[in-house]
């Protein structure tokens, strides 16, 4: 159908009892592959016979192919014909009847050659005070209007399908999941840039039936890297963009299946730039993938896959409305010029090579299996400027903004003068001044650096061993199982990246206000240590997690209906081991040494069914119940400094049901889906600096806000329709209406090294649990910040017989909410700084102060276009996408700043003549930006 998106080989399996045997001789099938538009032969197209055997060949210069059909197997085979310039075709072949040569016409592919990870927004820092948004992208697209729009058009507004969080999208490569335990997320940076090599995707939407995967709310995508399934050839690509990187090159070489059963593929890519849409976000990424495959005696395949994508990129920060109004969406306060080069104080570096060994057995018998061994190691590192104890040098620091000088009435001429001055400063220069930092360190060489660049490093190591099995009982029933062991070990530490002209650094916690003389040292074991570049500072710990898992699935398929019942159970064991003894946690076992071992056992159940109303229409229903342990990051109160576990840790549970109906006509493709779900007992930890930590002496502390028992409910309706107006023009439209809200009353408490027990001043607690208990958070019916709830999308695409195409999409997003602060809506909000309830509040005023901000409606238009040329068996194609054609200024997302944690603070902020000091912070959406590529395929 039109509105084409790249499809991976859909393994449609026909199950045949081993009752009939065909003639012993191998049968040959010949045929020719032609271009449907002009009838020209297509050479070097991949022709594969799908079934129990992997029979692959390639068309010759005139488009002819010959493929052998192995005997005594199926009544029908499926022939797949593939070439990236064209849409893949699945042709059913009846073995006994088909001896005549067949002619296959391939439709020209209007493919969106977008990179895997969506680049609709600049890379963001992961500071722990907000959730990184869901990552949509081509790994979402399944060929229908809805998933296509979700993949390509909804990125810039942080849309999340069914309100899924980032850790609810699962990615696996060769069947090996790459989501890690720590954050539950897949590290997109560990396979970026390999767009061409990772095109063989099996996309599972939500919890729908799939082969070996239970599914996830945000979907699951399994990427196969099978060298034998690539069409042999060489592809060269040049990329130009104005989004995150500005230039890129890629090379993709495939050997194709050789006579001896060996095949290999190699992709190399490089993307770089000095800052795309957002200034200062330098980008330098290299990617390398190799795949080696050997077919052993027809039924078994051994595959070795290796990926290595080292990348370093600058990162920007969310900004308040005041700063955005001065500087706009391209502003990034984190960088400054040094020696004529852009230097970004916040950058993220990932080097995590991944190796997977796969052994597949696809026998013609009932049983087939696969074994995977995988390992990934390396590090994920994020740098930041450490200025503890000195003044904040960033130009968007709140004390440097005009609002700071206009914060209190009555205002005198001095205040206006200072505000005017501040405004001139921020307008004239918003970037970091590196020279000032070097000077500050250089003038006081004897006392250690006041400013350093610190790296927060996660050294990762992951190994997985898994076995998959499929057993066919008969034509109707099929049983699949998967068993795995997964081990992850990580070493987290802070490290000095650059002393900025100083000679050494003293690893001191400059916020420590207690009376213990060793209390201010981040490692009491080695106080007064002068640290040089590369030394471990701030925190140092390891954690290890082990997972045992079992998955089982039963499928029954008939012509009229089919169903799938599946379960998955896992056992996770987790332990932390501190290597520093933090000054605020001196007691035995508090910070240094092993923590308690925590074990979670969880189970998931799902029942999916499908009814085929007619050959053209079918409905599906999925019902799911699952429990999931909190991610490692949300298991410990203050993982960097202490071993303390979150009190009353619980697994979260999920109940969900979704139904959909699809109709596939000649020129109409329609789909309508509805879902209802609830998630209970979720745990979230956010880290931020607040002025309302009542258990701290002055109320000010860096806290870890632990919220438990979070309940969310959502319902939604999604509809997609695509209609061919003619054989050149196609129209598609998508509508989404949904609600995604909090319900119930979660409980909150705070962890911090600033809390001490007033009864026992000699003891330092890591949290205010005993001092204040768990407080209720009143968030019923507030919206979860998961992107727009209502979307209207329309797309028009034109295909011209001269091999060019263009598409224009119109997208209207509304009902988008800022992520709210739990602390502000907890019982703490009515307390004065000394913990005494302040009765002077009017409930109307309180409601208006606690209203959740609606980020507004936004209309985004995107333009895509492509053209291909064919030059004697070689293809050249050009692809271009322009996002936000009308250059609309908008925010992608935003969140409330929990620094102000009480309604009194909020009322004070609302009264400030110059605007709030700690207003909501926003992620700007990109203005008009483009991405384009020129590809040469041989």
- Which residues of the chain form contacts with another protein (CB under 8 A)? 251, 266, 268, 270, 272, 282, 284, 286-288, 290, 308, 310-312, 338-339, 341, 343, 349, 351, 390-391, 412-414, 417-418, 421-422, 424-425, 434-436, 438-440, 442-444, 447, 450, 498, 501, 515
Give the residues across from 712 on adjacent strands: 679, 742
Q: How far apart are CB 308 and another protein at their closest, in Å?
A: 6
Nearer to another protein, 94 or 444 (CB): 444
Nearer to another protein, 307 or 791 (CB): 307
Q: How far apart are CB 421 and another protein at their closest, in Å?
A: 4
- DSSP H helices in 169-328: 321-327
d(CA 64, CA 47): 10
- DSSP H helices in 411-561: 413-428, 434-443
Cβ atoms of residues 3 and 797 within 8 Å: yes
921 Cβ contact list (under 8 Å, min separation 6): 318, 319, 320, 894, 895, 897
- Positive/negative CA dihedral, 816, 822, 827, 832: negative
Nearer to another protein, 329 or 440 (CB): 440
Q: Tell me the chain's radius of gyration from C-alpha atoms.
A: 29
- By CB neighbour count within 10 A (0-12 exposed, 13-18 middle, 19+ buried), where does 221 fall? buried
Nearer to another protein, 154 or 252 (CB): 252
Nearer to another protein, 3 or 422 (CB): 422
The tokens for 187 are 């590290």
DSSP E strands in 216-282: the ranges are 220-224, 233-241, 247-254, 262-273
d(CA 70, CA 72): 7
Q: How far apart are CB 428 and another protein at their closest, in Å?
A: 9
435 Cβ contact list (under 8 Å, min separation 6): 338
Q: How far apart are CB 233 and another protein at their closest, in Å?
A: 15
Nearer to another protein, 232 or 501 (CB): 501
The tokens for 296 are 């052993």
Q: How far apart are CB 796 and another protein at their closest, in Å?
A: 41
Nearer to another protein, 214 or 253 (CB): 253
Nearer to another protein, 100 or 760 (CB): 760
Which residue reads 């979660």 in tokens? 746
417 Cβ contact list (under 8 Å, min separation 6): none
Q: How far apart are CB 292 and another protein at their closest, in Å?
A: 12
Q: How far apart are CB 624 and another protein at their closest, in Å?
A: 41
Q: How far apart are CB 499 and another protein at their closest, in Å?
A: 10
Nearer to another protein, 50 or 289 (CB): 289
d(CA 766, CA 188): 34
Q: How far apart are CB 792 and another protein at their closest, in Å?
A: 43
Cβ atoms of residues 496 and 552 within 8 Å: no
Q: How far apart are CB 60 and another protein at their closest, in Å?
A: 21
Q: How far apart are CB 236 and another protein at their closest, in Å?
A: 13
Q: How far apart are CB 258 and another protein at their closest, in Å?
A: 13
Give the residues across from 871 on adjacent strands: 874
568 Cβ contact list (under 8 Å, min separation 6): 214, 549, 550, 551, 552, 603, 604, 626
What kind and span of H or E run contains 776? strand 775-776
Question: Regarding beta strands 858-871 and 804-814, do their DSSP bridges make them parallel or antiparallel, or are they unpaired?
Answer: antiparallel
Spacing of C-alpha 823 from chain mean position: 27
d(CA 61, CA 55): 20
Nearer to another protein, 565 or 936 (CB): 936
Nearer to another protein, 284 or 546 (CB): 284
Nearer to another protein, 53 or 334 (CB): 334
Q: How far apart are CB 192 and another protein at their closest, in Å?
A: 13
Question: Using the 8-state DSSP alphabet, how is residue 886 labeled?
Answer: T
Nearer to another protein, 68 or 270 (CB): 270
- By CB neighbour count within 10 A (0-12 exposed, 13-18 middle, 19+ buried), where does 894 fall? buried
Q: How far apart are CB 274 and another protein at their closest, in Å?
A: 11
Nearer to another protein, 26 or 698 (CB): 698
Nearer to another protein, 515 or 840 (CB): 515
Nearer to another protein, 343 or 620 (CB): 343
Cβ atoms of residues 201 and 152 within 8 Å: no
Q: How far apart are CB 232 and another protein at their closest, in Å?
A: 14
Q: How far apart are CB 435 and another protein at their closest, in Å?
A: 5
- Positive/negative CA dihedral, 665, 669, 670, 676: positive
Q: How far apart are CB 275 and another protein at their closest, in Å?
A: 14
d(CA 168, CA 696): 35
Question: Regarding beta strands 858-871 and 874-883, do their DSSP bridges make them parallel or antiparallel, or are they unpaired?
Answer: antiparallel
Nearer to another protein, 312 or 771 (CB): 312
Exposed e or buried b per residue across 103-138, where buried means at least 16 C-beta atoms within 10 angstroms of its C-beta: ebebbbbbbbbbbbbbbbbbbbbbbebbbbbbbbbb
Exposed e or buried b per residue across 431-442, where buried means at least 16 C-beta atoms within 10 angstroms of its C-beta: bbebeebbebbe
């Amino acid at each position: 159908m039109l509105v084409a998106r790249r499809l991976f080989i859909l393994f449609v399996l026909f199950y045949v009892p081993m009752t009939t045997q065909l003639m012993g001789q191998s049968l040959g099938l010949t045929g020719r592959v032609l271009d449907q538009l002009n009838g020209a032969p297509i050479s070097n197209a991949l022709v594969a016979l799908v079934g129990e055997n992997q029979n692959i060949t390639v068309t010759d210069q005139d488009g002819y192919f010959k493929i052998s059909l192995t005997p005594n197997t199926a009544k029908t085979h499926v022939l797949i014909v593939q070439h990236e310039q064209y849409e893949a075709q699945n042709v059913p072949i009846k073995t006994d009847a088909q001896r005549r040569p067949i002619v296959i016409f391939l439709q020209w592919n209007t493919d969106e050659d977008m990179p895997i990870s969506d680049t609709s927004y600049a890379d963001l820092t992961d500071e722990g005070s907000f959730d990184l948004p869901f990552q949509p992208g081509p790994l979402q697209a399944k060929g229908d209007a809805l998933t296509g729009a979700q993949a390509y058009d909804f990125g810039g507004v942080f849309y999340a399908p069914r309100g899924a969080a980032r850790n609810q999208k699962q990615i696996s490569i060769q069947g090996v999941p790459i989501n890690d335990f720590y954050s539950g997320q897949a590290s997109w940076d560990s396979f970026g840039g390999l767009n061409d090599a990772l095109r063989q995707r099996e996309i599972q939407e939500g919890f729908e039936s799939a082969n070996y995967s239970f599914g996830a709310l945000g979907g699951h995508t399994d990427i196969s890297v099978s060298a034998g399934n690539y069409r042999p050839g060489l592809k060269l690509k040049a990329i130009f963009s104005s989004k995150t990187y500005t230039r890129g090159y890629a090379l993709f070489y495939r050997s194709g299946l050789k006579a001896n059963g060996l095949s290999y593929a190699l992709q190399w890519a490089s993307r770089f730039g000095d800052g795309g849409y957002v200034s200062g976000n330098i980008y330098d990424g290299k990617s390398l993938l190799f795949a080696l495959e050997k077919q052993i005696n027809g039924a078994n395949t051994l595959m070795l896959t290796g990926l290595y994508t080292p990348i370093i990129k600058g990162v920007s920060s969310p900004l308040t409305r005041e700063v955005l109004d001065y500087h706009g969406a391209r502003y990034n306060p984190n960088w400054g010029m040094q020696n004529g080069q852009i230097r970004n104080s916040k950058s993220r570096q990932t080097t995590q090579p991944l190796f997977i060994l796969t052994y597949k057995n696809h026998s013609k018998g009932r049983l087939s299996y696969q074994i995977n061994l995988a390992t990934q190691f390396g590090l994920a590192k994020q740098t930041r400027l450490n200025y503890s104890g000195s003044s904040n040098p960033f130009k968007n620091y709140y004390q440097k903004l005009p609002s700071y000088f206009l914060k209190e009435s009555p205002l005198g001429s001095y205040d206006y003068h200072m505000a005017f001055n501040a405004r001139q400063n921020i307008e004239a220069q918003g970037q970091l001044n590196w020279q000032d930092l070097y000077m500050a360190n250089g003038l006081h060489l004897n006392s250690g650096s006041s400013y350093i660049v610190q790296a927060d490093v996660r050294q990762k190591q992951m190994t997985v061993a898994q076995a998959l099995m499929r057993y066919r009982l008969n034509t109707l029933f099929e049983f699949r199982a998967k068993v795995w062991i997964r081990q992850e070990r990580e070493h987290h530490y802070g490290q000095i990246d650059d002393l900025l002209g100083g000679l050494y650094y003293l690893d001191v916690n400059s916020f420590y206000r207690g009376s213990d003389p060793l209390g201010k040292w981040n490692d009491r074991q080695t106080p007064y240590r002068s640290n040089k570049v590369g030394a471990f500072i701030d925190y140092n710990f390891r954690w290890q997690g082990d997972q045992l898992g079992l998955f089982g699935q039963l499928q029954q398929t008939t012509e009229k209906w089919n169903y799938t019942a599946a379960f998955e159970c896992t056992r996770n064991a987790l332990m932390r081991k501190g290597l520093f003894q933090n000054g605020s946690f001196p007691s035995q076992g508090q910070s240094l040494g092993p923590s308690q071992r925590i074990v979670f056992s969880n189970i998931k159940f799902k029942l999916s069914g499908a009814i085929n109303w007619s050959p053209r229409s079918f409905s599906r229903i999925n019902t799911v119940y699952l429990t999931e342990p909190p991610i490692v990051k949300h298991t410990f109160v203050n993982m960097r400094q202490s071993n303390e576990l979150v009190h009353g840790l619980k697994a979260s549970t999920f109940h969900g049901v979704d139904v959909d109906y699809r109709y596939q006509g000649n020129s109409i493709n329609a789909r309508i889906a509805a879902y209802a779900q609830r998630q209970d007992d979720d745990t979230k930890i956010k880290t931020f600096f607040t002025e309302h930590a009542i258990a701290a002496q002055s109320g000010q502390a860096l806290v870890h806000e632990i919220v438990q028992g979070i309940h969310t409910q959502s319902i939604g309706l999604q509809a997609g329709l695509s209609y061919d107006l003619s054989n050149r023009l196609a129209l598609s439209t998508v509508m989404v209406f949904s609600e995604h809200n909090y319900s119930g009353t979660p409980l909150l408490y705070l962890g911090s090294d600033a809390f001490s027990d007033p009864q026992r001043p000699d003891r330092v607690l890591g949290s205010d649990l005993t001092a204040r208990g768990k407080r209720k958070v009143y968030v019923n019916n507030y919206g979860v910040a998961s992107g727009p709830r209502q979307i209207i999308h329309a797309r028009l695409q034109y295909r011209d017989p001269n091999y060019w195409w263009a598409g224009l999409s119109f997208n209207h997003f509304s009902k988008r909410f800022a992520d709210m602060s739990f602390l502000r809506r907890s019982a703490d909000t009515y307390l004065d700084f000394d913990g005494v309830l302040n009765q002077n509040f009017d409930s109307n005023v309180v409601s208006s102060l606690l209203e959740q901000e609606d980020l507004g409606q936004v209309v985004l238009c995107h333009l895509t276009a492509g053209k291909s040329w064919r030059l004697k068996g070689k293809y050249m194609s050009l692809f271009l996408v322009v996002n936000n054609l009308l250059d609309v200024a908008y925010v992608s997302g935003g969140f409330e700043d929990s620094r102000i944690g009480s309604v009194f603070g909020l009322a004070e902020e609302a009264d400030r003549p110059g605007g709030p000091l700690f207003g909501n912070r926003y992620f700007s959406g990109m203005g008009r930006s483009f991405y384009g590529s020129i590809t040469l395929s041989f």
